Amino acid sequence: MTRFFQLPILKICSNITFVALIFSSSLVLGQRSGGKEVSIMVSAHSNHPSPPQPIPAVDVQPEYPGGAAKMREFIGRNLKYPKAAQKSDVQGTVFSEFWVNTDGKIDRIKIIRSIGYGTDEEVIRILKKMPKWKPAQFRGKATATTFTLPFSFRLTD
């Protein structure tokens, strides 16, 4: 009887650990721009409270090709801190939401939390440039679903 209850608990704990490992890691990219050190941090975890998200109705969440680490790598290589945001010392987190369609294509991009000064446009540019994702799965079939991704912009001297 005890063994019956241990298996689901171990499975849940291992899934929670896996998700925590993916979302606790982040990428910090340093750039030199106009005499300032610019740091761009892209993370699925933020000090800011997360905006409300719909309860996922899928069995498997959509995934960037190669996983979260490859996605952070792609963003780190392509994201540029907007000059207007640098000049105004604007820092913060932009929350984006988009659909990953059944073919993996990103669609219906919107900014759900903005810091302005060109950061929203930069996030949208990066999302449009992304390759097709592995779509979400529901009962073994590809399905379209939403995905929320925060982009943190930080300046360092």
Which pLDDT does position 57 carry in this prediction? Answer: 76
pLDDT, tens digit, for every residue of 4-28? 444 444 343 333 333 333 333 344 4
Instruction: Give 136-147 pLDDT, tens digit per residue.
Output: 999 899 999 999
Mean pLDDT in residue range 79-88: 95
Instruction: Kindly list the domain boundaries of the chain, sorted by start residue.
Output: 2-45+59-156
Tell me what the mean pLDDT of segment 18-39 comes to. 41
Pick from 7-16, 42-51, 85-94: least confident: 7-16
Contact at 8 Å (CB) between 133 and 62? yes
pLDDT for res 50: 52
Residue 112, SS3? strand
Closest CA relative to residue 135, chosen from 70, 64, 56? 64
